[in-house]
Structure 1
Amino acid sequence: MLASLNFVEKFISLPKLTKYTNINSKQIETKIFDLNKITPLLTKQGFEVDNIIIKGEGLETVVVGRIEKAEPHPNAAKLQICQVNAGESNLRQIICGAKNARPGLYVAVALPSTKLPNNLEIKESKIREIESNGMLCSREELGLPINKDIDGDGIWEIEQDAQGGISTNILSQKLGYPLFDILEISDVLLELSVTPNRPDMLCHEGVAREIMAGLTYSGVPFEKKENPGFAHKVTISEDVIKKDALKNSSVNCAGVTFSAENHLQCPAFFVAIDSTQVTHSPAWLRNLLENLGQNSINNIVDASNYILLAHGQPSHAYDLDKISSQNPNAKKLILRKAKQGEKFIGLDAKERELQEADEVICDIEGIQGLLGVLGGEQSKVSYETKKIVVEFANPHPVSVRRTSRRHARQTEASFMFEKGIDEASRFKSALEFFALVTNLQEVKPKYCGTVHSIKENNKPEIKTEFRNLEIDFHSTAQEKILGAPIIEYTKQLNILESLGFILSNKTEKSTKVTIPSWRSSDIVGEADLVEEFIRIVGIDNVPSTPFISPAIVNYDDPHYKYLEKLSSRCASLGYNEVISLHFMRADDHEKLGLNSINALGEPVALMNPIIGDEPLMHTTLIPDLLRKVRKNLSYGTKSGQLFHSCRTFQNYDAHGERVFKQNGESLGISALLAQNVENALEYHYSQGYAYSREKSQAGRPVETPRLAGVTFGNKMEKNWQNSGEVNWTLHDIMSHIVELCHSVDLTITTVKICEEHHSTNDHSAKYHPLAKAFHPGRRVGFYVVDDKNNSVSLGWAGELHPKTMRNYEIDVPCFAFELNVAVLLRSISRPKNLLNRSSAVQKFPTVSRDFAFLLDENITAQKLNDVVANSLQNLIVKETPAILKTVQIFDIYKAKEMPVNKRSIAFHISLIPTERTFTDKDIQKISNAVIEAVKNEFHAELRGN
C-alpha cells in the first residue's frame, strides 16, 4: 500500500515540524511531517513501513519565478534572453530555448546548485557568450508526469487555469519560494506492508483511522476533520441513493431510459448522472493522483480513482450515449459470463480473447468491461460525454482474481476486489462520487437516479442489508487471553472507540462492541478485540512467560521429516543448498537434448511471468542448478556441490486431464505445448502428488517433490598432501544416492540408461529422455520395487555431455542427479519386514543376547540381518510381544585352524518387551529361534557349545 500523507490529511491533521531553507540568502520557513511520530506508530500497530519516499526532496531550490523581459539571443536564433524575477532585489538573467517563454509568465526556476531528477546539475554558465544564471524548467525536467492537453510543450506555465485555484496574486507574493511547496506537490509517501486480513488499510481513510488511534493513545495532539468528504456539499443523501437503488429497475436520464440485467450472482447498482462537464482535473486532485502513480485523465475518471484511493471503493463510469441499443432512447447494460472466443478491447487499447469463466459487462453489441478488472475502449468517458452511468458492483474476489491473472492485467480496482471491499459502504461511496463530480464542475450535474440490476426472475440483484456483529467484551478478557493485566479497562474501550468500534451498554465489567463494516471480515470474537488494543499499546508490553512443560514439535506434513532428513543428508555429503523460484526457460529442453518441450511433462506457462526469460513452471530442477554452476564459475568458484529440494509442476491433474487448455498462448507456444508426446518414467504425472491424493486435486496441476544435485570442478584440489587434483567420478555420485536412500531405509537398484527405446548395443540398458544430456558411458538410472513387484524409476545420475556443458557455458567437468521424491516417499511408506526403528516410552527392561557362528565367507551382513529378523517375526508378535531394536555384528574372526572359506561371525541382538518383563523361558525361546534359523539357512555351526 502506497499512502500519501497529504491524502491522509484530508481526514486528520498530522504532527508537523518547522523546516528552514536558505534560498537566495533568505530563510524560508516550511512545515514538514514529523515522521518520527508517525512511522513508528504504524510499525508498532502491525503495518511495517518498508520505504519512505519524499516528493520534492532535493528540489527546494526550484522556486516560483516570473519572466519580466524576453529578448532574442544575438548569437542564436532559437534562444531567448529572459530577465526573471525570482524574489531577489535584482532580476536574474537566464537563457531559454522554449518557444513559450514570454513576459508575464510564471515559471519554475532552478537556481544554480540545483540537481534535477535527470542528474543535471544547474550551474552559472555562458551560453553562446551570454551569461545564464539558472534554468527555466518543464514538468518533465522536474520528474513530473506530462499531459500534453494541459501542459503543452516547452517550459512549465504555472497559471491559474492550469493549476485550478492558485491565483496570480498568490504567485506574485511567493516569488522565490520553493515551487513544490507552493503548489502542494511536496508530499511524503509511505510504502506500507499490509497483512491479508486488513483490506481496510488499502485506502487512505483506513490509514487515517490507524494513525488517529495511535496518536490518541500516545497523547500526540491532532485534529479530526469534521467533513472529510464532499457529501455535505450536495442535497441528496446516502439514504436517497440506497432507497432509489432498491426501488428503481430503470431510470430516465435526459430522455434516455437506462436499466441493467444481471445473470451473475453479483449484487450491483448503477447511478445515472446528466449534464456532466468533462474537463481537466484541478491541481490538487491531479497532484494527489500523480504522486501515487496514477495518470490524470479527466475529472470524471479522476473522481472515480479518488474514491478508490480515499475509501477503497472501486467504480467505473460509462458514457450513456455510447452504449449500443436498438432504441436510442432505451439503453441497457448486462452482467453475464463471456462467450468462448469473444473479443474485448480494453482501456489500454489491447484486444483480448475471453473465456467462458470471465465475467463481463456488455450491451447488445459487445462487451464494455471486464467486471471488476478493466473498462472498455468503446464506452469510455471523453470530453464530449454529457451523460454517464456509474457502476457499483460487488464481484466475487475469486472470479476477479482469476480473470485478472488470466489476462495478465491487475488494476487498482481488481486488487481491491481480490482483497475484499467494504460492501456496506458502496452507497456512501456512490454519494461521495456524485458530490466530488459536482465539486469539480462549474455547471452542476443532475442526479437522475439509481437503479438496481435485475435477475432473470425480475427480482433485484442488490444487497442493502448487512450484518452487524456484536461482541460482549469483558474486563477480564485481557488477563484471560494475554495472561497479565496490561492497561485499564476504560483505556481498552477508548482505544477500540478510536479505531471505529461502536460501544454500548457500558458497565464496569462488560461492554457490547459493534464491529464496523470495514472490519467484519476479521473481527469475530473477544480475542480479536484484545488483539486490537494490544496492537496500539505495543506487543512489547506483554510480559514473557516460560513454558510450563517442554514443547513437542510435530510435523504438520508427515512427509516433511523425510524431506528434512534428505536435505540434511545432502548437506552432510558436502552439498550446499540453493533456493530458487519455480521457473525455467522455454529453450531449456533444447539445451538438455530432449526430444520435445513436453519430454519431462508438459510445463505450465505463465501469462505474466515474474522473470521475463523464464516463462514456464519448471518440470526439472537441473537447468536452474546448471545456471548457478555457471554463475559460480563466473565469480571464480571453480569447484563445488549444490543441491535443491522443491516441487516441479505439470499441466496435468492426478487423473491425467490437461488443466489449462490455452497453455502457452501468451507466449506463442500453445500448439507446441499441446502436442501429445510421451511423458515417461519418473516424470510421468502419475508419479507426482506425494502430498495428497484427495478429490480436490482434480483440476489442479500435478506437483511433484524432487531432489536434484550437481558437482562441478574437482573433488579435491592439488595441495601439499596430494600431488594432483582428484576428479569427481560417476561412482562418487552413485554412492551419494545410495547414502540418501539408506538414510530413509530404502534399497535401490542401478541400471544403465540409453537414448533409444530399443538399444541394440546393450539389452540391459533402459531408455531415459534425459540420456542425451549426459556422457554415453557415464549415466545410470535408479529403480525401486513397488507393491506389485514392478520396477519403478526413481531417478538418474550422470556426467554432463560436452554439448550440454557448452549450452550452459560450463567449462569444467560436471555431474548431476535428480530423484523423484514422491516415488521415494511412497516406497518407504509401505509396510516392510525390517527392524522397527522407533518405540513408545520404554516400560520394561531391554533383553540382549550375543551369538557366534561359523559361516561361509560369501554370506553378507544384510543376509544375516534378514534371516535373524524373519526368525523372530512371528515369535515377538504372538508369543513374546516385543520390538526388535538391533541386530549388530561386533566381531569377525578368521584363524588357520578354521575350515577353508569359513569365518567366525559374532553378533548382538536386543529386544524391548512391550507388554511384560521377559522370563528365562521367553529368552530361551528367542535364542532357540535365532540359532535354529541361522543353522538351517546357512548350514552354520554355533560356536561356544
Structure 2
Amino acid sequence: MLASLNFVERFITLPKVTQNININSKNISTTQYDLEKIAPLLTRQGFEVDSIQVWGAGLETVVVGYIEKIEPHPTAGKLQICQVNVGEATLRQIVCGAPNARADIYVAVALPSTKLPNGLEIKPSKIRDAESNGMLCARDELGLPTNKEIDGDGIWELDIDSQGGVPRKILENKIGYPIFYALNMTDTLLELSVTPNRPDMLCHEGVARELMAGFTYAKITFIKKKDAEFAAQVTLTEENIKADAIKNSRAKCGEISFTCENHLNIPAFFVLIDSIEVKPSPAWLRNQLEALGQNSINNIVDTSNYVLLAYGQPNHAFDLEKLSSQNPKEKQLILRNAKAGEKFIGLDSKERSLYEADEIVADIEGAQAILGVLGGEHSKVSSQSKKIVVEFANPNAVSVRRTSRRHGRQTDASFLFEKGVDVQKRYKAALEFFALISAESKNKPHYCSTIHSVNAQKKPMIVTQFNANEIEFNSHDQEKVLGANIIPYKDQLEIIESLGFTLKNESESKTKATVPSWRSQDIAGNADLVEEFIRIAGIDLVPSASFQSQAIVSHDDPQFAFNEKISSRCSALGYNEVISLHFMRADDHAKLSLNSINSLGEPVALINPIIGDEPLMHTTLIPDLLRKVSRNISYGIKSGQLFHSCRTFQNRDANGERIFNSNGESIGLHNELTYKLDNTLEYHYTHGYAYTKEESQTGRPVETPRLAGICFGNKSEKTWQNSAETLWSLHDIMAHVQEISRSVGVEISFARISDIENNSEFQFHPIAKALHPGRRVSFYIKDENNKSVSLGWAGELHPNTMRNFEIEVPCYVFELNIAILMHKTMLPKEVTQRVTNAQKFPTITRDFAFLLDEKITGKDLNDVVLNSIKDIIKSEVPAVLNSIKIFDIYRGKGMPENKKSVAFQISLEPTERTFTEKDILKLTKSIINNVTEKFNAELRGV
C-alpha cells in the first residue's frame, strides 16, 4: 500500500517539524511531516514501513521563474532567447525552443547544477553562440505525468490550474522558490506492508483511522477533520441513494431510460448522473493522484480514482449515451459471463480475447468492461460526455483474481476486490463520487436516480441490510489471552473505541463491542479484541514466559532425511543450493530441443498461474537452473556450482491414468498427447515416487523428487599459482554423481546416450539433443531383479541450448530421479564398505598411462582395472580399493590417429599388513597385463 501523507491529512492532522533550506540565496522555511512519530508507530501496530519517498526530493534547484521578455535567436529560427526573473539581482538568460515560450508567463526553471530525473545535468552553456544559464522545463522533464491534451508539448505554465498550477497572485511572491514548495506539491509517500487480513488499510481513510488510534494512545495531538468528506456540500444523502437503489429497477436520465440485467447473481447498483461537465481536474486533485502514480485523465475519471484511493471503493463510470441499444432512449447494461473468444478493447487500448469464465459488463453489442478489473475504450467518459452511469458492483473475489491473472492485468480495483471491500460503505462511496464532481463544477451536475440490477427471475440483486457482529468483552480477557495484566481495562476500551468499534457498557467489567463494517472479515471474538489493543499499546509489553508443556519428539520423515543426506553431499562437493517455485515456461521444451512438451512426462497446466509466463508445473528442474545461471552471469559471477532438490509433477497418477483431461489447451498441450514416453526412462510415471503410496494417490498427479546440478564457467581461475584456468569436464560431473549415489550406498554404471531413436550403438534419451554429442552420458543402477534401471543423465550443454538460455560460458549439467535411489535403498542388499574401521596401514597409490583407441570409454577402463585386481586383493594381498581416478586424457600432437593417452591412479588400503614390494609388483603387473591384452594398449609410463 502506497500511502500519501498529504492524502491522509485530508482526514486528520499529522505531526510536523520545521526545517530551513537555502536555495538560490533564499533561506526558505519548510514544514515537513514528523516521520519519527509516524513511521515507528505504524510499524509497531503491524504495518511495516518498507520505504519512504519524498515527492520532489532532489529537485530543490528547480524554481519558479517569470519570463520578463523574449526575442528570437539570431541564427536559429526555432529558438528564442528568454530573459527570466528567478529572484536574483539580474535577469537570467535562457535559450528555449518550446513553442509556448513567451513573455509574461510563470515557468519552471532548472538552475545550473540541477540533475533532472532523466539524468540530464544542467550546466551553463552556449547554444548557437547564445549564452544559456538554465533550462525552462516541461512537466515530463521533471518526472511528472503528462497529459498531452492538457499540458501540450511545451514548457510547464505554472498558473494554469489544469496543469497543477496556482493563481498568479501567489506566484508573484514565490519567484525563485523551489517549485514543489511553491505549488504545494511536496508529499511524503510511505510504502506499507499490509497483511492479507487487513484490506481496510488499503485506503487512506483506513490509514488515518489506524494513526488516530496510535496517536490517541501515544498522547500525540491531532484533529479529526470534519471537512474530509465532500458529502456535507450537497443536499443528496446516503439514505437517498440507498432508498432509490432499493426501490428502482429502472430510472430516467434526461430522455434516456436505463436498466441492468444481472446474470451473475452478485449485488450491484448503478448511479445515474446528468449534465456533467467533463474537464481537467483541479490542481489539488491532479497533484494528489500523480503523487501516487496515477495519471490524471479528467475530473470524472479522477474522481473515480479518488474515491477508490480515499475509501477503498472501486467503481466505474460509463458514458450512458455511448452504450449500444436498439432504441437510443432505452439503454441497458448486462452483467454476464463472456463468450469464448469474445473481443474486448480496454482503457489501455489493448484488444483481448475473453474466456467463458470472465465476468463482464456488456451492452447489446459486446463487453464494455471486465468486471472488477478494467474498463472499456468504447464507453469511456470523454470531453463530450453529458450523462454517465456509475457502476457499484460487488464481484466475487476469486473470480476477479482469476480473471486478473488470466489477462495479466492487476489494477487497483481488482486488487481491492481480491482482498475484500467494505460493501456496507458502497452507498457512501456513491455519495462521495457525486459530491466531489459537484464541488468542482460551476454548472452543478444533476442526480437522476440510483437503480438495482435484476436477475433472470426479476429479483433485485442488491444488499442493503448488514448484520453487525457484537462481542462481549470483559476485564478478564486480557489475562486469559496474554497471561498477564498489562494495561487497565479503561485504557483497553479507549483503544478499541479509537479503532472504530462501538462500545456499550453493561457493567464495570463487561462491555459489548460492535465490530465496524471495515473489520468484519477478521474480528470474530475476544482474542481478536485483545490483539487490537495490545498491538496499539505495544507487543513488547507482553512479558516473556517459559513454555510449560511436555516436549514430544517426532522421528524425522525418512524421505526428508534421505533428501537431506543427498543435499548435504552436494554441498560438500561444492554446490550451492537454490530454491524455486515448482513452475516452468511453456517454451522450455523447445529451448531444450525436446521433440515434444511431453518428452519428459506430460506437465500439469495451471488454469490460474501465479507467474504469468510460467503456466506449467515442472517435469524437469533444468530450465529453472539454467535461468539462474544466466542471471548469475549477468550479475558478474562467471563460474560456480548450483544444485536444486525438488519435486516434479506429471499429469498421470500412479496407475498411468490422466488426471486433467482439459490440460493446457490454451498453450497447445492437448495437441501433444500422442507422444509416448519410453517406460524405461527415469521420467516415466512408473518411476515416480507416489509419497508413501497411500490410496489417495489414485487420481492425483505423480510427484517425483529429482536432483539437478550444474557446473558453469571454470573449475578454477588463473592465479599466481595457476598459469591457466582449469575447465570443468564430463568426468568431474560423473564423479560427482558417483559420490552422491555412494553417499546412500548405491553403485552406478554409465552408458553413452544418443538423440537418435533406434540407435544400435547407444541408448536413446530425449534430453540428449540438448547436450554436446560427444559429452553426454546416462546413469544406471541394478534393481531387485538385477536389471538395469535408468537413474539419470549428465553432459555438457549444446551451444544451441546455451544460446536459448542466454549463457555464454561452458556448462555441465546432471539430473537424477531420487525416487529410484530411494526405492533402491529400501531393498535388502549387501553394502560393500570401502573402509570398515580406523586405518592402520599406509595407503599406496600408483599411476599408469596407456595409449588407447579413441573408442575406449572411462567405464570400460574402470571395469578392466577392477577385474584385474579384485581376486588378488580378496585373497592374496588383502586390501580395500579406495578409488580408480582418471586424471589426464591427452589428444593431439604426437598422438597416432584415433588414439589417446589416458592416465589414471589407483588407491589401495591394506587391511591386514603393510604392502611389500612383491605385493605391489603383483598388482601393477596384473593391471598392465589385463589392460594391454583387453584393449591392445601400449604402456606409456608407470
TM-score (norm 2): 0.79
Asked if 1:770 corresponds to 2:767, the answer is yes
Higher mean C-alpha deviation, range 654-663 or range 351-360: 654-663
SS at match of 2:426: helix
CA distance in 2 between partners of 1:453 and 1:696 (Å): 45
Partner residue of 2:676? Answer: 678
Q: Does 1:798 align with 2:794?
A: yes
Aligned pairs for 1:730-879 (under 5 A) are: 732-742=735-745, 752=751, 754-755=753-754, 759=758, 761=760, 767-772=764-769, 773=771, 779-782=777-780, 795-800=791-796, 816-821=813-818
Please tell me whether residue 308 in structure 1 is matched to residue 308 in structure 2: yes
Q: 1:677 to 1:395 in 2, by over 3 A?
A: same
Write out per-residue CA displacement over residues 675-727 of structure 1, whole angstroms, 9 at most, x where no aligned residue.
63234444345765846999999999776442212356898999999x99897
Q: Decide whether aligned partners of structure 1 residues 760 and 823 sit closer, same or farther in structure 2, where only a CA change above 3 A counts.
A: closer
**2:816 partner amino acid:** L
CA gap 1:138/1:800 in 2 versus in 1, 3 angstroms: closer
1:634-673 residue pairs with structure 2 within 5 A? Answer: 641-649=641-649, 655-658=657-660, 665=667, 670=668
After superposition, the Cα gap between the structure-2 partners of 1:296 and 1:28, relative to the gap in structure 1 and judged at 3 Å, is same
Moved more, 93-102 or 53-62: 93-102
1:518 Cα deviation after fit: 1.1
Shift of 1:219: 1.5
- Aligned-partner residue type, residue 16 of structure 1: K
Corresponding residue of 2:907: none
- 3-state DSSP of counterpart to 2:290: helix
Give, in angstroms, the shift of residue 303 of structure 1. 0.7
For structure 2, the 5+ residue unaligned runs are: 832-873, 876-909, 914-942
Q: Closer, same or farther in 2 for the Cα pair 1:621/1:240, shift >3 Å?
A: same
User: Given residue 814 of structure 2, which amino acid in structure 1 is its aligned partner?
Assistant: F
**2:18 matched to which residue of 1?**
18
Cα gap change, 1:554/1:92 in structure 2, threshold over 3 Å: closer, same or farther? farther
Conservation of the 8 A alpha-carbon contact between 1:606 and 1:664: no
Structure 1 residue 768, shift from structure 2 partner: 3.0
Cross-structure match for 1:162: 162
Counterpart CA distance in 1 for 2:814 and 2:581 is 19
Residues 173-188 of structure 1 aligned to structure 2 (within 5 Å): 173-188=173-188
Task: After TM superposition, give the deviation of residue 419 of structure 1 in Å.
Answer: 1.2
Report what 2:345 is aligned to: 345
1:588-644 Cα distance to aligned partner (Å, 9 max, x none):
545645323431235578999999998866432224435656777899989764321
Which residue pairs with 1:846 in the alignment?
Answer: none
After TM superposition, the structure 1 = structure 2 runs for residues 344-363 of structure 1, keeping only pairs within 5 Å, are: 344-363=344-363
The code of the aligned residue for 1:142 comes to L
Equivalence for 1:448: 448
Matches of 1:636 and 1:277 in 2, distance apart? 57
Match runs of 1:102-121 below 5 Å? 102-121=102-121
1:76 aligned counterpart, secondary structure: coil
Separation of aligned partners in 2, 1:6 and 1:697 = 56
The corresponding residue for 2:200 is 200
Secondary structure, counterpart of 1:321 in structure 2: helix
How many angstroms apart in 2 are the aligned matches of 1:300 and 1:610?
Answer: 34
Alignment of 1:358-757 (within 5 A): 358-505=358-505, 507-549=507-549, 551-552=551-552, 560-580=560-580, 588-589=588-589, 592-602=592-602, 618-626=618-626, 641-649=641-649, 655-658=657-660, 665=667, 670=668, 674=672, 676-680=674-678, 681-684=681-684, 690=690, 704-711=704-711, 728=731, 732-742=735-745, 752=751, 754-755=753-754
Residues 1:27 and 1:816: Cα distance change in structure 2 (over 3 Å): closer
Distance 2:691 2:376 in 1: 43
Q: Tell whether the 8 Å contact from 1:46 to 1:535 is kept in structure 2 after alignment.
A: yes
Aligned length: 829
The letter for the 1-side match of 2:252 is N
Q: Structure 2 vs 1, CA of residues 554 and 262 (structure 1 numbering), >3 Å: closer, same or farther?
A: farther
Shift of 1:453: 0.9
Q: Is the 8 A contact 2:505 2:511 kept in 1?
A: yes
The 3 A distance-change label for structure 1 pair 794 and 545 is farther
Say yes or no: does 1:260 pair with 2:257. no
AA aligned to 1:442 is: K
Q: Residue 164 of structure 1: CA displacement?
A: 7.0
Secondary structure (helix, strand or coil) at the match of 2:260 reads strand
Aligned-residue offset at 1:370: 0.9
Q: Cα gap change, 1:273/1:592 in structure 2, threshold over 3 Å: closer, same or farther?
A: closer
Deviation by residue 1:788-820 (Cα, 9 ceiling, x = unmatched): x89896631333366678657989986543233
Is this contact kept in 1: 2:651–2:658, CA < 8 A? no
Conserved 8 A contact 2:245-2:451? yes
* Cα distance change on mapping 1:42 and 1:750 into 2, 3 Å: same
Deviations 1:218-259 (A, max 9, x none): 222111111311111111111111121112111111121111
Range with greater deviation from structure 2 (364-373 or 607-616): 607-616
Q: Distance in 1 between matches of 2:497 and 2:790?
A: 61
Please tell me whether the aligned partners of residues 662 and 670 of structure 2 are also in contact (alpha carbons under 8 angstroms).
no
Aligned to 1:242: 242
Give CA-to-partner distance per residue, 1:393-444, whole Å, 9 cap, x none: 1111110111111111111111111111111111111111111121222111
Deviations 1:547-583 (A, max 9, x none): 2357546599885444434323433454331234556
Give 1:36-55 correspondences, 5 Å limit. 36-55=36-55
Partners of 1:520 and 1:556 in 2: CA distance? 41
What SS does the aligned partner of 1:29 have? strand
- The answer (yes or no) to whether the contact 2:792–2:817 under 8 Å persists in 1 is no
Amino acid at match of 1:656: R
Q: What SS does the aligned partner of 1:70 have? A: strand
Counterpart contact for 2:596–2:672, Cα < 8 Å: no
**Corresponding letter in the other structure for 1:798:** A
Q: Which runs of 5+ in 1 are unaligned?
A: 836-856, 859-890, 895-945
2:71 is aligned with 1:71:
yes
Moved more, 196-205 or 544-553: 544-553
Q: Counterpart amino acid of 1:600?
A: L
In structure 1, what is the Cα distance between the partners aligned to 2:717 and 2:320?
78
Aligned equivalent of 2:98: 98
Over 3 Å counting, the alpha-carbon distance change for 1:753 and 1:23 in structure 2 is: closer
CA drift of 1:73 comes to 3.1
Where does residue 897 of structure 1 map in the other structure?
A: none
Aligned counterparts of 1:573 and 1:686: Cα–Cα separation in 2: 30
Aligned mates of 2:556, 2:304 — CA distance in 1: 46
**Whole-angstrom CA distance in 2 between matches of 1:341 and 1:673:** 19
Whether contact under 8 Å (2:638, 2:712) holds in the other structure is yes
Q: Tell me, what secondary structure is at the counterpart of 2:307?
A: helix
Q: Is contact 1:241-1:431 (8 Å) kept?
A: yes
Task: Determine the structure 2 residue equivalent to 1:916.
Answer: none
Q: CA deviation at 1:283?
A: 0.9
Residue type matched to 2:738 in 1?
S
Please, what TM-score do these two structures have when normalized by structure 1? 0.79
Aligned to 2:289: 289
Q: Per-residue displacement from partner, 1:175-196 (whole Å, max 9, x unpaired)?
A: 2222212222211111111111
Percent of residue pairs identical: 61
Q: CA deviation at 1:319?
A: 1.0
1:180 aligned counterpart, secondary structure: helix
Partner amino acid, structure 2, of 1:739: R
Contact 1:651-1:660 at 8 Å conserved across structures: no
Are the equivalent residues in 1 in contact too, given 2:754–2:773 (CA < 8 A)?
A: no
